[in-house]
Structure 1
């Protein structure tokens, strides 16, 4: 019954203003109004990574649950992991509304939210109250007016260390002025140096080492991408997320296409997947990648893994396709494993990276 209601509600949500629809979705999830996954998952979809066993490689990207309100609902929908945030040390309202725009004809969204969230303290309290299992990562960022943005990232790692299973360092949002400058090798090295030192201090005190993932923008030039990946590998990051939203608007005909902000959804798929494959090649396949951008079908999810992703995250695809997309992706990936006689979905990772990396963006 809930799955039927979910399908019926999708057109209604799309008729509402985007932030209103998002708020209603979060409230429904908080009240448990969503189709719960039943039964054991497919063994072939399990991913062993960072000392964890992910039930499947599908997650929901940061931005959906900024304040850790619906972590268990996301997992209950059938995701193999959840990621909250982006969180900043102090609460901030973000940019003025309207700041989210749907481009329905393109299966896309433009947002210029600006890290709107309730701050570390509120999100940490919610995560600390959890009593259920499941892998939850925290996406950390910096306040817009911070005098020391690197200190904000360190504060995020410190605040959530005992309640997060991994951290994603968001230095690629286009909606905080100057934030993407942290992707430059010198600044990135300084940021990671302080984060790694903070983690090392925790480990020395007896804590488990939490993986650190860095999320990149899809608008880096080939030269900048190569230098950035070299820095990430040298610093020993545990993962790279590819990618955040894009500023590119090529080929869009929707009247709101020129709104400022980051573009997500189907038009981002090609750019983000080519970049994913290039990062896979540049890192020699030694760093696990999270594929993000334009996953709105089972076929798109498969392409991400073949291009180099070990894990993947959805968001805009769920807006247009609904939560049933999660199950459809998992069913398709499991079927591919059976057809290709694979014992693990991980055998697909990077099998077409060379082909994707050679494509033109």
Structure 2
């Protein structure tokens, strides 16, 4: 059905490109019921394959100017990003960015390939807009991901060279290292590894040259012992060594990629205070709040699949993750950029995250349920929220609930 829609685009007059683009995104909603009939992991695999081959709509319309912002010296056309976990192996970066995300985060990537936990390991709680997963860092490994990102990086460089010498392509949209839009690379550790720091350092050495920002994932609930790295001493030691590994590399004028840490929503007040102290002391570039939860917030707790082991994502996670976001914004005194993640399914949700202290916002589960049509809708709704309350930019609204 997507193929027919795309083929139709070659036939239909493109005099009104914006209208046709909107129709193309809306037409993808016809496919969603078919994906719902498939096994969750197979459907996910099919979606990644479709995006990797360009069988997804491409956003041709410019983002509303109110959504643009600059952070870490990088320009985002909008603050809506795709969280890590969807494109674990960097197979579909170009297709995903082309759909209109302001940024896409790939991974988590582990040094060595690993299968992850036994299947089935993804469970839909559809009526609650939630998912439970216990994938366990299934990854093709650093070498494979580096080859993919390297090829894409080389292609991007060739396009930049061509555009700089050709007057007909001078209006090429400039973005990050992966092309239009910003690319984040999320780093994980192997399950059997006894030296977590060495795994993250290896990730930095191999993949940082292709990343607009890097993420240390210490918060997945599906790798034994991983969340212990969020402790004050463990986190401080880890971040210092990873920062040193990044800084010892040779960088061009734009410098090394920012380094972020992704934390869990299931932390105590003391845990959050410790993480904030480490982040401020080491001048961490940012925090992602949050990963999935091992709790089962209402109403998901009553679902027959609620007892399945793993992390829960989606709508029931929204309040929990947003409360942690608020707490961390206060603890870091607004000095560290925060990415709000967890339960976002509308522009109003994204706006609440931003007012609670998030500079950028990520989603995943809502995208898995809603498909490509969700992206332009969320951006339009967020722009309406900002304009409704008199904000001229996203950055003006960051942390507005505390000002």
- Distance in structure 2 (CA, Å) of the matches to 1:30 and 1:349: 33
C-alpha separation in 2, matches of 1:318 and 1:207: 32
Aligned to 1:115: 137
Cα distance in 2 between the residues matched to 1:239 and 1:283: 10
CA gap 1:237/1:30 in 2 versus in 1, 3 angstroms: same
* Residues 333 and 345 in structure 1, CA contact (< 8 A), matched pair in contact too: no
Question: Conserved in 1, the CA contact under 8 Å of 2:52 and 2:93?
Answer: no
Q: 1:190 maps to what in 2?
A: 237
1:5 deviation in Å? Answer: 4.3
3-state SS, counterpart of residue 129 of structure 1: helix
CA displacement 1:71-116 (0-9 Å, x = unmatched): 0111111001111100000000000001000011211000000000
Partner of 1:137: 184
2:246 aligns to what SS in structure 1? helix
Cross-structure match for 2:391: 342
Range moving further from structure 2, 39-48 or 190-199: 39-48
Evaluate the alpha carbon distance shift between residue 353 and residue 18 of structure 1 in structure 2; reply closer, same or farther with a 3 A threshold: farther
1:31 to 12, 31, 53: 53
Matched, 1:271 2:334: no
Aligned to 2:164: none
Contact 1:137–1:168 (Cα < 8 Å) also in 2: yes
Aligned to 2:224: 177
Matched with 1:92 is: 114
Aligned counterpart, 2:16:
none
Count of aligned residue pairs for this structure pair: 354
State the partner residue of 1:243: 290
- SS of residue paired to 1:59: strand
Q: Deviations over 1:216-270 (max 9, x none)?
A: 0000011111111111111111000000000101432110111000000011000
Structure 2 Cα separation of the partners of residues 94 and 345 of structure 1: 38
Task: Kindly report the root-mean-square deviation, in angstroms, between the aligned alpha carbons of the 2 structures.
Answer: 1.5
CA distance in 2, matches of 1:214, 1:317: 23
- In the TM superposition, what is the alpha-carbon distance from 1:204 to its structure 2 partner? 7.4
Give distance in 2, aligned partners of 1:196 and 1:172.
18
**2:346 counterpart of 1:297:** yes
Q: Any conservation in 2 of the 1:136–1:166 contact (CA below 8 Å)? A: yes
Distance in 2 between residues matched to 1:47 and 1:173, nearest whole Å: 29
Residue 298 of structure 1, CA deviation: 1.6
Secondary structure in structure 1 of the residue aligned to 2:302: coil
Quote the Cα distance in structure 1 between the aligned partners of 2:95 and 2:254.
Answer: 28
Post-superposition shift, 1:41?
A: 1.8
In structure 2, the partner of 1:53 is: 75
Write the deviation string for residues 178-218 of structure 1: whole angstroms up to 9, x where unpaired.
00000001100110110111122125797722100000000
Partner SS for 2:105: strand
* 1:286-325 correspondence to structure 2 within 5 Å: 286-325=335-374
The answer for the alignment partner of 1:359 in structure 2 is none
Distance in 2 (CA, whole Å) between partners of 1:274 and 1:326 is 24
What are the superposed Cα offsets for residues 52-88 of structure 1, whole Å, 9 maximum, x if unpaired?
0011101100000000000011111100111110000
Distance 1:295 1:332 in 2: 12
Offset at residue 343 of structure 1 (A) = 2.2
1:7 match: secondary structure: helix
Contact 1:28-1:34 at 8 Å conserved across structures: yes
Distance of 1:294 and 1:154 partners within structure 2 = 31
In structure 2, relative to structure 1, the CA distance for the partners of 1:296 and 1:169 (3 Å cut) is same
The unaligned stretches of length 5 or more in structure 2 are 6-23, 157-178
- Aligned-residue offset at 1:39: 2.4
Aligned to 2:245, the other structure's residue is in SS state helix
The equivalent position to 1:199 in structure 2, one of 222, 231, 246, is 246
Q: Tell me the distance in 1 between the aligned counterparts of 2:251 and 2:376.
A: 41
Note if contact 2:200-2:242 (Cα within 8 Å) is conserved in structure 1.
Answer: yes
SS in 2 for 1:347: helix
Q: Is the 8 A contact 1:61 1:314 kept in 2?
A: yes
Given the superposition, is the C-alpha separation of residues 329 and 206 from structure 1 closer, same or farther in structure 2, using an over 3 Å criterion? closer
Contact 2:347/2:385, CA 8 A, preserved across alignment: no
Q: Distance in 1 between matches of 2:337 and 2:374?
A: 24
Rg (Cα) greater in structure = 2
The runs of 4+ residues in structure 1 deviating greater than 3 Å are 203-207
